[in-house]
Structures are given as C-alpha cells and as structure tokens.
C-alpha cells in the first residue's frame, strides 16, 4: 500500500463583495499584464506544492469568475468551485428573511467541506500573502497527520506589515505561548490604525496602544481534514444563537480559537516576515500595483505570470 501523503488543498474565499473598496476586487488586475491577486496566490501555491485549489464564490458571478479567473489554472493545478449563499445551511436551520449579509468566513469553509478530503489551507481571495508564506504552509501541512485533530497551524504576520495608510483595519491579534510558538487565543480588534504616536485600536471611542509587533491572523490558516467536522459543529452552535440576527457572522478564527480553548488542538503559529498587501480601500490599489511591479522587476514573478 502506498504511504505517499496527499498534497494539500488551497481553499480560496472569494464570495465576498468588497463593500468598502467598491467592487469585486477578486477580478481586478494588479499585475503588469492584468494579473489578479488570486493569480499570484495560485501561482505561489502551485510552486509551493499544493495539489488542488478550491474557490468559494457566489453563484451570481460564477460564469464571469470561471471565464476570467479559474479556467486559466486548469492545466496547471486541479480546480474546484463551490458556492456560498444564505441558502446553504445545515438541515433544520433558517435565517431571518431580511438578512442580506453573508454568514462569514467560517461558513465559507463549511460550504466547501465536501472538497476537503486532506490537509488544507485557507486564504482570502483579495489578500496578497507573499511566496514564502505559501512555502511555510505547504511544508508544514505535508508533515501533519491528516487523521489527527491534535495539531493545526496558521501563518502569523507582524501587525505593522498589514496596515493600510488609508483607513482602519480589522485584525485578529494573537496571543502566543512563547515556549512552543502555539496559539493561546485570537482577539478580534476592529479599528486598528497608525498614528504619529504609534499603532492603536479604537474601542468605545477610546484609543488603546499597540506595539505594532503583535502577530496577527490574516486568515491564512492550515487544517487537517479531521477539523472539518468542527466547522459544522461551530456553525450549528452559531446558528442556534444567531440565526435571526441580520449582521453577525461566523468567523474562521473562532473555529481555531474554539479548538484551542477546548483543548482539542495545538495551533502552531509560523511567523513570516512577508509584507501583506491588501485592497481594503480604493486608495490602497496603487500601493499593491507598485509592490507587485517591484517583485516582477527583481525576478520573484515572471511577466506575464501565466
């Protein structure tokens, strides 16, 4: 019997409409030849050793997405697409009829559960993570026991490497056990920004200082397939309390946090020095374009990419 381990899957969360940005960031060109951020993520994942990519999208833009994004990868990596929508729920649950807001990143993973038959990593479609982060993720996932819940992982970014110059950001600030670099907890801070006095977060109209060196989650997380059932359990718990809420979301970090708090998993935090690039606001776009252009010029990426 073969003992070859299954290549990890990359799960790309691409169902969200960029409300603050003002459009579908997932399909916008940022590279010299019109490459999207997703293009660079899939390129980095394929060369890092991922064997399959699964996109979570909304059904209403499925045709455009396949034509402009996912079809180009099919000769290079296995591609699957699943839909996230308010009609995708565990049996027996219904939502408030006036709800419009998506159910969140944890729900997106739940929607893809049928495709997650081995170790998998989760990323946001509109975040640029950098090539070394994908290598960290692929190398670590390939050594985990996929049948075990004992260990999961995440890539941690330095807070100052993830800020926007154009407005506040939300970040999951990690508390880490120093002796083994495992996650103790993740605390969501929703209004983080830089001031002349340093980095702060705003809560109840009060500014609280941060060092800027904190490790934060950018939703680049890795799981064994043994964890998939806990997305189902977590979603059911969330819906039992919040099914009639209009805005509350079931977040991916809450699943990871729950596994830690219940003593079911250790979560290894792999720090990266990569600069994260995102397009939270329209004004962020030019900075991402210039960063990718610099990476192309020094040979990190070819141009055109595909």
Q: Tens-digit pLDDT profile for the chain (306 aa)?
A: 344 678 999 999 998 744 443 445 567 899 999 999 999 999 999 999 999 999 999 998 888 888 888 899 988 999 999 999 999 999 999 999 999 999 999 999 999 999 999 999 999 998 999 999 999 999 999 999 999 999 999 999 999 999 999 999 999 899 999 999 999 988 889 899 999 999 999 999 999 999 999 999 998 999 999 999 999 999 999 999 999 999 999 988 889 888 988 999 999 999 999 999 998 888 999 999 999 999 999 999 999 998
Q: How far apart are the first and last CA of the chain?
A: 37
Give the pLDDT of residue 2.
42
Claim: this prediction has a pTM higher than 0.75: yes
Burial 155-188 (b: 16+ CB within 10 A, else e): bbbbbbbbbbebebbebbbbebeeeeebbeebee
The pLDDT of residue 253 is: 83
Digit-coded pLDDT (tens) for 146-190: 999 999 999 999 999 999 999 999 998 999 999 999 999 888 898
pLDDT of residue 24: 57
The answer to whether 270 and 174 have CB atoms below 8 angstroms apart is no
Supply 199's token pair. 């980095």
Q: What pairing do the DSSP bridges indicate for beta strands 277-278 and 215-223?
A: unpaired
Cβ(206)–Cβ(78) under 8 Å? no
Q: Are strands 9-13 and 52-57 parallel, antiparallel or unpaired?
A: parallel
pLDDT of residue 4: 62
Dihedral Cα 170, 125, 17, 55, nearest 10 deg: -130
Query: Which pLDDT does position 113 carry in this prediction?
Result: 97
Q: pLDDT tens digit string along 249-275?
A: 998 888 988 898 899 999 999 999 999
What Rg do the C-alpha atoms of the chain give, in angstroms?
Answer: 19
Query: Looking at residue 19, what is its pLDDT?
Result: 43
């Amino acid at each position: 019997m073969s003992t070859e381990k299954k290549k990890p899957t990359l799960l790309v969360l691409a169902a969200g409409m960029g409300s603050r940005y003002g459009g579908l960031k997932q399909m916008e060109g940022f590279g010299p030849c019109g490459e999207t951020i997703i293009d660079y993520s899939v390129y980095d994942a394929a060369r890092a050793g991922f064997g399959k990519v699964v996109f979570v999208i909304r059904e209403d833009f499925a045709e455009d997405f396949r034509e402009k994004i996912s079809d180009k990868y099919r000769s290079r990596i296995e591609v699957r697409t699943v839909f996230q929508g308010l009609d995708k729920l565990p049996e027996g649950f219904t939502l408030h009829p006036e709800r419009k807001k998506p159910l969140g990143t944890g729900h997106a993973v739940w929607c893809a559960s049928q495709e997650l038959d081995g170790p998998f990593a989760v990323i946001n479609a509109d975040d640029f993570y950098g090539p070394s982060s994908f290598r960290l993720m692929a190398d670590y996932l390939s050594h985990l026991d996929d049948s075990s819940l004992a260990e999961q992982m995440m890539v941690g970014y330095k807070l100052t490497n993830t800020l926007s110059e154009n407005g506040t950001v939300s970040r999951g600030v990690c508390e880490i056990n120093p002796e083994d670099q495992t996650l103790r907890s993740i605390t969501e801070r929703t209004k983080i920004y830089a001031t002349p006095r340093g980095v702060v977060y705003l809560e109840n109209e009060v500014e609280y200082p941060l060092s800027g060196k904190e490790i934060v989650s950018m939703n680049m997380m890795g799981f064994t397939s043994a964890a998939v059932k806990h997305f189902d359990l977590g979603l059911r718990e969330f819906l039992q309390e919040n099914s009639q809420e209009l805005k509350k979301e079931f977040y991916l970090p809450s699943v990871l946090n729950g596994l830690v708090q219940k003593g079911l998993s250790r979560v290894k935090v792999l720090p990266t020095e990569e600069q994260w690039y995102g397009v939270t606001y329209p004004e962020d776009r030019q900075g991402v374009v210039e960063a990718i252009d610099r990476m192309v010029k020094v040979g990190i990426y070819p141009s055109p990419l595909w």
